[in-house]
Amino acid sequence: MKANAGGMASAVAGLLLMATSAAASGQGANPGGWADDNDPVAKHLIELERQWATVSCIPSATRPAAEAALYNELMADDFIGTSPSGPLYGKSDLMAQPAPASVPEPERDCKFLGAKLRFFGPDLAVIYGRESAVRKGPDGKWTTRTLAWTDTVLRRAGKWQIVAVQDMVVPNAAIE
C-alpha cells in the first residue's frame, strides 16, 4: 500500500509540475532569467519605465494628468518606493494632484539611459535601470542628476505592476 501511495504521490507531483510549467509558459512570461530583446512583457514594462523617466519634462500645465495616467497603469495600489533622499512614498503620494500654482517647473533634457529586466518566475521580475535629467536645485541653479534604480514588478490577475522601487543618485564622478 505504501509503495502504491508513493507512486501515486509521485505521479500527482509530476502532473502538478507539468501543469504549473504549462501554465507559466502559456502566460507568455519567462520562467526565469534575463529577458531577451523580443520579450513582449519586458518591452512593455521597459517602455513604461521610459515614460516614467521622462514624464517630469512634460510642461507644468499638462504634467499632473500625464503622471496620474502613467502611475495608474504602472503602480500597484500597495506600491512603496524609497526616494533618492531616503523617505518612503506610496502610490497615493504619487497620485496627489498639486494645486496648479504649486506644480514645479519641469525638468529639462530627461533621458532614459536604459534598463534590463530579469524574470524570477512567471509572475515576478526586477528591472534595473538608469536615467538623468537637468533640474533646478534649491539654489536656483540647473544641474544634471542621474539616478540608478531597481524596480520590483509583480503580475497579479494578469496585470504587471511595480510594487517597490529603490532609487539612488549616482555621483557625477561615477557617471559613465
Domain locations in the chain as residue ranges: 1-30, 32-174
Signed CA dihedral, 139, 144, 46, 166: sign only: negative
- pLDDT reported for residue 120: 97
The pTM assigned to this predicted structure is 0.78
Average the pLDDT over 134-148 and give the result. Answer: 92
Task: Tell me which DSSP letter residue 88 carries.
Answer: E
**Ramachandran quadrant class, 155 (left: phi over 0; alpha: psi -120 to 50; beta: rest):** beta
Q: pLDDT digit string (tens) for 55-88? A: 999 988 888 889 999 999 999 999 999 999 999 9
Considering only residues 126 and 16, tell me which one the structure prediction assigns the higher pLDDT: 126
Decide if domain 32-174 falls under CATH 3.10.450.50.
yes
Rounded-to-integer distance, Cα 66 and Cα 63, Å: 5
Please give the grid coordinates belonging to residue 88: 518612503
Helix (H, G, I), strand (E, B) or coil at 76: strand
Whether 165 and 91 have beta carbons less than 8 Å apart is answered as: no
Residue 58: what residue type? I
Assess contact for 131 and 113: CB atoms under 8 A. Answer: yes
Cell 503620494 sits on residue:
93
Q: How far apart are CA 52 and CA 37, in angstroms?
A: 20
Instruction: Categorize the per-residue pLDDT at 175 as very low, low, confident or very high, splitting at 50, 70 and 90.
Output: low
Residues β-bridged to residue 160: 155
